[in-house]
């Protein structure tokens, strides 16, 4: 399956302009049918905590955009948005199929309190997986990356592909690269990290979107400028490596998670 990740600088709280940028960026690519297109965390607005703006006209506005993009490119499309449910706002990962159907919604579990995200958003409570082409994908969002337990749970649920969408700041970008590679190696899975670029009131972002294979090898890596992350991910690479080096079978989870059953 081909991967196309749109790394860019979202215009602050301007949804239609960001939608237009994404459309134009992908029109320049010959996107293969049944590929996976990935957009950053809160791609429509930037990392704004003004839920009056981020949830305005939602969920139909952003979800319709993602659904249409999926149909137009006959591919899976994943990205992040803010959605209000019963007066609570969630930092949400959404993914649509090539038919324009919603296949998963995952709410960010770990909110970054140092940026006061917990004052604007409610935390998710469930790790989730879904089928994306030949893969079982586990979605995660930004600060989630620092918590390996979430990725272990995804692996237990059958994940062989992790997608991390983010607004990860430049000041901690080394952590981003190291943690993404670690999640790939320890779970013997593909890990795709899709970050953004540019400046916002409280942060500077320098991209560094990357695809790691199940052994932790870089498939593609972008620098600090806007661009399209590209790569080929093959499910048999995960299966073959897990058979060749069966670390997943050697986990002693009964020692650390006695109530797992």
d(CA 109, CA 249): 27
Catalytic residue among 41, 58, 83, 117: 41
d(CA 39, CA 77): 8
Instruction: State how beta strands 197-199 and 204-206 pair.
Output: antiparallel
Is 41 designated active site? yes
Q: Which residues contact 130 (CB under 8 A, 6 or more apart)?
A: 95, 103, 104, 136, 137, 139
Catalytic residue among 95, 127, 130, 142: 142
Q: Count of alpha carbons within 13 Å of 10, Cβ hemisphere only?
A: 29
d(CA 165, CA 196): 9
Instruction: State how beta strands 130-132 and 135-141 pair.
Output: antiparallel
Of residues 7, 27, 41, the one with CA closest to residue 223: 7
Is 142 designated active site? yes
d(CA 228, CA 38): 10
Catalytic residue among 15, 63, 108, 128: 108
| Beta-bridge mates of residue 130 | 137
Catalytic residues: 41, 108, 142
């Amino acid at each position: 399956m081909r991967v196309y990740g749109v790394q860019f600088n979202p215009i602050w709280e301007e949804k239609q302009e960001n939608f237009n940028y994404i459309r134009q960026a992908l029109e320049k690519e010959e996107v293969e049918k049944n590929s996976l297109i990935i957009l950053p965390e809160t791609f429509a607005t930037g990392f704004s905590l003004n839920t009056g703006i981020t949830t305005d006209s939602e969920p139909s506005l952003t979800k319709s955009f993602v659904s249409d993009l999926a149909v137009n490119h006959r591919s899976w499309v994943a990205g992040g948005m803010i959605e209000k449910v019963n007066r609570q706002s969630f930092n949400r990962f959404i993914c649509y199929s090539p038919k324009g159907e919603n296949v998963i919604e995952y709410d960010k579990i770990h909110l970054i309190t140092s940026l006061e995200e917990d004052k604007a958003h409610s935390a998710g409570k469930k790790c989730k997986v879904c089928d994306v082409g030949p893969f079982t994908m586990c979605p995660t969002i930004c600060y989630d990356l620092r918590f390996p337990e979430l990725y272990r749970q995804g692996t237990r649920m059958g994940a062989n592909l992790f997608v991390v969408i983010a607004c990860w700041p430049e000041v901690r970008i080394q952590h981003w690269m190291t943690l993404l590679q670690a999640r790939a190696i320890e779970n013997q899975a593909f890990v795709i990290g899709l970050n953004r670029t540019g400046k916002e009131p409280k942060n500077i972002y320098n991209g560094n979107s990357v695809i790691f294979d199940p052994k932790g090898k870089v498939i593609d890596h972008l620098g600090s400028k806007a661009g399209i992350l590209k790569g080929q991910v093959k499910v048999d690479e995960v299966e073959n490596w897990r058979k060749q080096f069966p670390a997943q079978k050697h986990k002693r989870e009964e020692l650390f998670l006695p109530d797992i059953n």
